[in-house]
Amino acid sequence: MSRSLPFLALAMSSLLLSTSACSRTDESPAADEVARTAQDWSTLRDFSAIEATGPDHVAVTIAPDFSVKAQGNADAVADLDIQVKDGKLVIGRKSKWNWDDDRNDHSATVHVTMPAIRGADLTGAGDFDLDKAEGDSLDLSLTGAGDFRVGTVKLKSLTTDITGAGSVRIAGTADTAKLSLTGAGDIDGEALKVGSADVSILGAGDIDFASDGRVAISIMGPGDVTVKGKAQCTTTGVGPGEAHCAP
């Protein structure tokens, strides 16, 4: 019996090693998933504008340092394609996206920190949140069904261009503004006051803001423009849309 003990110990040792190896094999898919979804954007910097295409959401914070991070659906995060081109942070997907991907379980949120922003171009169904903006100018362009939400601005010039069913909500002040809307979207500037403005609507959307200066308004379609304050408004257009300029 005593001679069989070494063989028994050897057999048990082999069994334990085999079990341990199987355990590591079972865990490997999870490790691969973590590696597959992890992307490093720590080297991205020196950009002053953002271009985002697809169903993903973008949240921008103005702060001294550059930072780009993402969270959300693991497959969506792994599929993100983020790079800097000509001073612009370009956010997209490696694979082709479709409109069904705008559901929360199929999208990601990209968190961006940057010292200043001069423009943002949003195409698709994602949303764009910006806490604040100051400086000479800010250009916002939206194509699709996404939304811009801008906290507070203090600008010399503001340009906002919407094509589609998206919307822009913005607050603050601007010396001059150019607000253009094509489609059924809205520009909600109820908390925005501008010195002077050029406003254009082609479609069923609405634009609201405040001004005490000169405002030129063009409306083609059923869209409405509402300007609060003492603005001197001139209006041209065709269709049932109306301009309301009153305190």
What is the reported pLDDT for 167? 98
Q: How far apart are CA 238 and CA 83, in angstroms?
A: 44
Q: How far apart are CA 148 and CA 184, in angstroms?
A: 15
Neighbouring CB atoms inside 10 A of 37's CB total: 17
What is the reported pLDDT for 104? 52
Q: How far apart are CA 145 and CA 96, in angstroms?
A: 18
What is the reported pLDDT for 2? 46
- Give the position of tokens 């408004």: 233
Is the CATH number 3.40.50.300 carried by domain 118-247?
no
> Whole-prediction pTM value?
0.83
DSSP run (H or E) holding 111: strand 108-114
Is 156 in a helix, a strand, or coil? strand
- Residue (of 143, 106, 5, 126) closest to 56 by Cα position: 126
Binned average pLDDT, 10 residues per bin, the chain of 247 residues:
45 45 43 52 98 97 98 94 98 79 72 98 96 98 97 98 98 99 97 99 98 98 98 95 92
The DSSP annotation for 53-64 comes to: EES-EEEEEE-S
Confirm if 60 and 131 have CB atoms less than 8 A apart: yes
Q: How far apart are CA 31 and CA 36, in angstroms?
A: 8
Confirm if 140 and 169 have CB atoms less than 8 A apart: no
Is 25 in a helix, a strand, or coil? helix
